[in-house]
Amino acid sequence: MIAAAIFAAICLSVAISGFTSLGSLADPAVAADARGFAWFWTFLGGIAIVFGLLAWWIARRQGEGE
C-alpha cells in the first residue's frame, strides 16, 4: 500500500511537470508528444492509486475475517 502511494506520487509529479512544461513548447508535434507523455504518467499514477486502494481494501477485509 505504501509502495503504491509512493509510486503514484512520483508518477503524478512527473505528469504535473509534463503538463506545466507544455506552454514553453512551440512545435505542435513536440507539444502533442509531451501531452501524450504526461497523460501516460497520469494513467500510471491512476493505476497505482487503484491498486493501492485495492490492497488496502483486501487487507482490511482480511482483518475482519479473523
Sequence ranges of the domains in the chain: 2-65
* Residue 4, helix vs strand vs coil: helix
**Residues of the chain with pLDDT > 70: what percent?**
97
pLDDT at 57 over 90: yes
> How big is the chain, counted in residues?
66
Q: What is the pLDDT of residue 9?
A: 97
Is there a contact between 41 and 15 (Cβ–Cβ < 8 Å)?
Answer: yes
Give this prediction's pTM. Answer: 0.84
Question: Would you say the C-alpha torsion 7, 10, 13, 17 has a positive or negative sign?
Answer: negative
For residues 46 and 44, give the distance between their C-alpha atoms in angstroms, rounded to a whole number. Answer: 5
Contact in structure between 30 and 7 (CB atoms under 8 Å): no
Q: Is 66 or 9 the better-scoring residue by pLDDT?
A: 9
